[in-house]
Amino acid sequence: MAPVSLEKINKVYENGFHAVKDLSVNIADGEFMVLVGPSGCGKTTALRMVAGLEDITSGTLLIGGKEANDETPKQRDIAMVFQNYALYPHMTVADNIGFALKLRKLPKDQLRAKVNEAAEILGLTDWLDRKPGQLSGGQRQRVAMGRAIVREPSVFLMDEPLSNLDAKLRVQMRAEVQRIQRRIGVSTIYVTHDQVEAMTMGDRVTVLREGVLQQVDTPQVLYDNPDNIFVAAFIGSPSMNLYDATLGADARSLKLGSQEVDLPESVLLARPALRGYSGKKVVAGLRPEHLPAEADNATGPKLVGDVELIEALGSEQVVHFTIDANRVLAEGAVDKDEAAAVKHGEGVARIGAKIPVKVGDKITFAVSIEDMKFFDEATGLAIRG
């Protein structure tokens, strides 16, 4: 067990591609840290640098307080789980799990005891004599986990270990991986492109974009207080509705397309910097759950939209609507196909399952104005203090 610390880590490939830029993150002892970002954001590269499979161009990597830049993967005492599991097809499950211990020349009886213990934890006892080819996807994933835990490493590294599983199994294994990590208490770095996985699993989450650190914090803080438009759009599903908007002259109102929303004093008190944007353009963000549908006679700020599509989920309805404001798409946060499918001015709201609504209706949303986020139009940074 050891803390891991990355200090201004850079990776520049031979062809000049700068994959990771000045990345600094501290992972506490026993912490479950998730690295998340769209594909090509440098998260896997960062993980491979920690593993020692990739050279560090510049910066310092500390494992257990000791500089590890020039150590071999073996010396770093880490265990890694790969996306494709990388099980040895010609060895049985027991041999796969025990391979690292065999290399350490552990006596046979001890080796068997450790393999059995790991198999017990993972529910693989009945499968120890099988070859990987005879196992299901979930079992293979467990063998890969077993191979990592049996070594009792100081750090676990996981590179999208669940992405080859089907959706149902993934949810199940998500909980299982967490359970095992808690039980063993080893510092873990977990790479994923799936923000749901990141939110549900991580003690803290590191968001990366094009090799640059965007924000590191607990899932809840990332969700409630994103530092910039990218994090706001990337975290959360369905993602945050982001619109171009203009603040009124005294910053007491906000113009979204042709509609105007009053901003109460409390909003400005919480975000004093907002006054500096009086009369200027900003990006306004609202999570889908902050737009509840409301009876026409209710007071408070409102938005009216045209219903385009309704997804009834049983417990709630996800309503896709349009307003005449310009929708902002954070580059890289949503993939290109998804971005192309988003209509001009489209937004998403979560409303109660019982509210009668149908496609083509005009719908009035109450705006939960205290929860609205504001971002600088040019820099994309959150406007707060």
Partner 1 sequence: MRNRKRVGWHRYVNGVNIAVVVTALFILIPLYWLIASSFKAPNSIGTASLNPNPLSGGNYSDAFVGYDFGIYFRNSVIVCITATALVLILGTLAGYALGRLPMRGKFPTLVILLMISVFPEVAVIAPLYLLMRNLHLLDSYPALIIPYTAFFLPFAIWILRNYFLGIPKEMEETGRIDGASPLRTVWTIVLPQALPGLFTAGIFTFTACWTEFLMALTFNPSNNYRTIPVGIAEFGGNFNVPYGTIFAASVVAVVPIGVLVFIFRKFVISGLTSGAVKG
Q: Which helix (H) or strand (E) holds 376?
A: strand 373-376
Applying CB under 8 A, does 39 fall inside the site for partner 1? no
User: Could you write out the DSSP letters of every residue in 337-363?
Assistant: HHHHHSPTTEEEEEEETTS---TT-EE
94 closest CA partner among 76, 79, 114, 77? 114
Nearer to partner 1, 177 or 207 (CB): 177
Q: How many CB atoms lie within 10 A of CB 28?
A: 13
Nearer to partner 1, 140 or 209 (CB): 140
Applying CB under 8 A, does 100 fall inside the site for partner 1? yes
Applying CB under 8 A, does 99 fall inside the site for partner 1? yes
Q: According to CB under 8 A, which residues from 218 to 237 bind partner 1?
A: none
Token look-up 């693989």 returns 124
Applying CB under 8 A, does 314 fall inside the site for partner 1? no
Applying CB under 8 A, does 64 fall inside the site for partner 1? no
215 closest CA partner among 330, 379, 382? 382
- How far is Cα 66 from Cα 54, in angstroms, rounded to an integer? 18
Of 31-39, 96-104, 200-208, 209-217, which segment contacts partner 1 by CB under 8 A?
A: 96-104
Nearer to partner 1, 156 or 365 (CB): 156
Applying CB under 8 A, does 88 fall inside the site for partner 1? yes
Applying CB under 8 A, does 170 fall inside the site for partner 1? no
CA distances from 108 to 89, 112, 123, 145, 191 (A): 22, 6, 22, 21, 34
Token look-up 């830029």 returns 21
Applying CB under 8 A, does 16 fall inside the site for partner 1? no
260 closest CA partner among 250, 270, 273, 246? 246
Alpha-carbon Rg for the chain, nearest whole angstrom, is 24
Of 84-92, 190-198, 321-329, 360-368, which segment contacts partner 1 by CB under 8 A?
A: 84-92
Applying CB under 8 A, does 146 fall inside the site for partner 1? no
Q: How many residues bind partner 1 (CB under 8 A)?
A: 32
Nearer to partner 1, 75 or 266 (CB): 75
Which residues of this chain interact with partner 1, rule CB under 8 A?
Answer: 51-53, 72-74, 78-80, 82-90, 99-100, 103-104, 131-135, 137, 140, 147, 151, 164
